[in-house]
């Protein structure tokens, strides 16, 4: 077996073997030996030592690289936070500087944006409440959602409680758009044409069957009756049904103008959760 084969076999010496080889090499140098085997042992020991150091150094470097990768992201975050903190301290130490003015503008802009967002959220909340009320009335009276929305919204715009408005339309027309009474009242709210034309002279008879027009004039007339009788809903409803002249005449005579109409509406109106 030649020396090259022996050298290839000693690829990764153990620590004990390495120490023995180093001891032999030192002993050979101390005695001044010049034989070739001694030199081979010295060379073999030096090569083994270099290989061992190279492997150990590479293993340590790899471990350090892993640790650095794991620590790199947190270290950046900590460094950024520390930098922001230092900048904050500098701004606080210079309350009259341009940086402080810029920071104040940012705070003001944020406050305005927050106020606007709160307003938007409030509008969304109100719209959700409106839709829930409309759906509830639609189920209660078994009418289409678009009709329920029209009664609800027009009643509110004319100053009438939606609960009263829905019950009034139910009693007057049964939610039938083309209803005409024996005395000539028409539509959802059973408007008398002379009363409607007095309120809006531009209307034609056919206009009184338009859903929104009929509801708006009917609820507006009820609101006028509420004003006339100082908010007394019973008298306002009786005047809506019998006419204010009849109600006033009966009252002047000391009688009760009640005919069951106001009770039919008011008894069915219950406070809503």
pLDDT tens digits along 133-186:
999 999 999 999 999 999 999 999 999 999 999 999 999 999 999 999 999 999
Return d(Cα 262, Cα 230) in angstroms, integer.
Answer: 16
**Does residue 86 register a pLDDT over 80?**
no
Q: What tokens does 175 get?
A: 């939610």
Give the orientation angle of helix 162-173 with respect to helix 211-228, to 10 degrees.
110
In words, the CATH class of domain 143-266 is mainly alpha
- What are the pLDDT digits (tens) for 100-128? 677 777 777 777 777 877 778 888 888 89
Ranges of each domain in the chain: 3-84, 94-142, 143-266
53 has catalytic annotation: no
d(CA 204, CA 4): 120
Report yes or no: 4 and 43 within 8 Å, Cβ to Cβ: no
Rounded Cα distance, 208 and 214, in Å: 5
Q: Give me the catalytic one of 33, 120, 172, 198.
A: 172
Contact 214, 208 (CB under 8 A): yes
- The Cα 41–Cα 43 span in angstroms is 5
């Amino acid at each position: 077996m030649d020396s090259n084969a022996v050298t290839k076999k000693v690829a990764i010496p153990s620590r004990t073997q390495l120490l023995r080889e180093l001891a032999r090499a030192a002993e050979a140098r101390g005695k001044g030996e010049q034989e070739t085997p001694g030199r081979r042992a010295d060379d073999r020991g030096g090569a083994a030592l270099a290989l061992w150091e190279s492997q150990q150094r590479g293993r340590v470097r790899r471990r350090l690289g892993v640790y650095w990768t794991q620590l790199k992201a947190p270290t950046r975050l900590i460094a950024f936070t520390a930098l922001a903190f230092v900048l904050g301290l500098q701004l606080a130490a210079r309350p009259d500087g341009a940086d402080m003015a810029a920071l104040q503008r940012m705070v003001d802009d944020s406050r305005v944006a927050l106020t606007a967002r709160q307003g938007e959220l409030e509008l969304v909340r109100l719209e959700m409440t409106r839709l829930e009320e409309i759906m509830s009335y639609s189920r209660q009276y078994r009418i289409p959602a678009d009709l329920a929305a029209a009664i609800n919204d027009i009643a509110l715009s004319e100053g009438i409680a939606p609960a009263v408005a829905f019950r009034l339309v139910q009693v007057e027309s049964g939610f039938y758009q083309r209803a005409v009474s024996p005395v000539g009242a028409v539509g959802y709210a059973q408007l008398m044409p002379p009363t409607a034309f007095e309120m809006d002279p531009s209307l034609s008879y056919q206009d009184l069957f338009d859903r929104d027009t009929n509801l708006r004039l009917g609820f507006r007339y009820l609101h006028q009756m509420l004003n006339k009788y100082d908010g007394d809903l019973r008298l306002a409803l009786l005047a809506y049904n019998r006419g204010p002249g009849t109600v006033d005449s009966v009252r002047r005579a000391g009688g009760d103008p009640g005919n069951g109409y106001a009770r039919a509406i008011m008894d069915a109106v219950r406070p809503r959760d």
